[in-house]
Structure 1
């Protein structure tokens, strides 16, 4: 996940294992820093034996990394795990690898590129996220596809590698969009998948700002282009699950293209990595009564509950954080889904949501960082 970041998963996509303790951080040693492109690196983190069970992860999950600036400001950023998931029933991973793309003005990505070195120790939250695919739950001869942009390759690399290794009958088609060949992350890792699974892994690369000697013409992967491209690549109607990951514009265009091609919403799984505010519709205006409501929140977290007042204009997450510093969060922008909670009682409104699927919101889940109380009393559960 890039510097912001996920979304859920129905049917064949598994319900990802939830950590035993929400928001738990551990100090992990950086084993290696590998430069992937001029503006991206991969960080390999060493997991000691006593923590490996806590860092078991499903293909597609992410890690939240934390640091404090010299001024004492805490910064959290979420990055997807690109390494394959450990085998079921086996020990947890000895190492975890994440990709970090440099974001202009990004405090953590700049730190990762300029300061982090092998031997350093970082605060790392246990894996989270529901943009996942469980190979064990995949149907026989399952056919999967992904449309990714830029660093959106990161979780999909883990998903594809884990699926193809675990299921000899599975197929995977990867459509990836990058600006130029030089800016393409994990080139060698994707090429290795093609070499290992030539009959089951299909790769299509589109460069938006550079012509290729062979392959598709350059240009953006927008809705119209995808509507004509996808049916020429694979039997769209037979694909078991579609995984869309990258910038908001690409994910939205791919979702609309698939909808126009007759793909059911329950077969589409999304994770947004970067949202340009100018491209996103403004949140619907809240009623005057809702906007003025403060009330109180009761929150259940790791088996313990508490009730606290919500200050005017404050989100439910911020109200809980004033009293429970271990409340789970990362981006606070409605993108990563780390603060997902279930509304047990009362009514809330969300400013924006790029992490929860319609099925989740209909079931009563919200993003605590974007939620404000509408009723005087609200009860939420982070443990669901």
Structure 2
């Protein structure tokens, strides 16, 4: 089960005018609990005006070797969001020595390092988990190569510019780096403009042999990720080779399911070895129903993006408003996002421990 612990801030590094990297120190007794695989994220928690606020940020550092005793530090990238309760705090108020509540790592947008060719299409802060994936892969697997295609507004707004450049210098033969700026012309490289489905359909086969790529990692805003997926599927890439993580979803841009709920519903949930049954109030999600009785239920974003609240549907039926975190094989196996699930039968049973 995911757990929150209070960790001290060891470093605050300004990346751009609107982004920062926060590094947390991990004490020896918690290093195993915070062991992570490349691509995972952390949920940070604080209370604002009496209301608990949680936000999820991807780990951007290489993962510790399996034989190590766990990470000594955790580094995440935070980009400012207009009106963001947590991102504004991170950029303007957090200092070295401050203590924040940090959840243990979660997420399945990951890569177990193995030989082969891999590629990513990222936009903006979507570089954050991919930076961990690339740096870990190239360090551990001499037989691995990676093509990184990244889109940013301008050079000045590009997160982890130096870190990616250092990787390119360290692995010049194994890391192919392609940068596209949407609002600024470059002296060399590709013309400016957005990376949409049409452009990627022509660009990707020109950069590499699409069929040779063992895994594609798409991360960033909803429009970019969806366009990249459609381009790859149109080029014949199997769905099983495409991995996605959405960072930003416009409220109008993503579909929601619409169906009525039974008049009286209950949810039975097993969590950390203990179970209970509670009523589901009209219009609330299964996660909110569980949280009213079990505040330790896992969640981070409540937007169907991070996957922290994933649970196994033991019995009953649910409808999910959105799903940007679970792979098709996970939903087929019976997993749902509790934050987006509403009862479609009078009784629903979830297991958070599976």
Gaps of 5+ in 1: 1-20
User: Separation in 2 of the partners of 1:125 and 1:244?
Assistant: 24
301, 316, 323: which is aligned to 2:286?
Answer: 316
Match of 1:63 in 2: 42
* CA root-mean-square deviation: 0.8
Match of 1:4 in 2: none
Cα distance 1:293–1:144, how it changes in 2: closer, same or farther (>3 A)? Answer: farther
- The runs of 4+ residues in structure 1 deviating greater than 3 Å are none
Please state if 1:123 is matched with 2:101.
Answer: yes
13, 22, 33: which is aligned to 1:54?
Answer: 33
Residue 292 of structure 1: CA displacement? 3.9
Match of 1:16 in 2: none
Please state if 1:40 is matched with 2:14.
Answer: no
285, 306, 311: which is aligned to 1:336?
Answer: 306
If the length of structure 1 is used for normalisation, what is the TM-score?
Answer: 0.91
Kept after mapping to 2: 8 A contact 1:294/1:310: yes
Residue 294 of structure 1: CA displacement? 3.6
Residue 306 of structure 1: CA displacement? 1.1
Match of 1:255 in 2: 229
Residue 308 of structure 1: CA displacement? 1.0
Match of 2:296 in 1: 326
- Select between 257-266 and 297-306 the one with higher mean Cα deviation: 297-306
Kept after mapping to 2: 8 A contact 1:350/1:367: yes
Q: How many residues align?
A: 354
| Larger RCO (CA within 8 A; separation ≥ 6) | 1
Q: Deviations over 1:125-153 (max 9, x none)?
A: 00000000011xx2x3x100000000000
User: Separation in 1 of the partners of 2:257 and 2:302?
Assistant: 19
If the length of structure 2 is used for normalisation, what is the TM-score?
Answer: 0.99
190, 196, 217: which is aligned to 2:191?
Answer: 217
User: Separation in 2 of the partners of 1:379 and 1:292?
Assistant: 15
Match of 2:59 in 1: 81
144, 153, 156: which is aligned to 1:170?
Answer: 144
Q: How does 1:1-384 map to 2 (within 5 A)?
A: 21-22=1-2, 24-69=3-48, 71-135=49-113, 138=114, 140=115, 142-281=116-255, 283-286=256-259, 290-384=260-354
Task: Name whichever structure is richer in strand by fraction.
Answer: 2
User: Separation in 2 of the partners of 1:189 and 1:170?
Assistant: 19
State the secondary structure of the residue aligned to 2:252.
helix
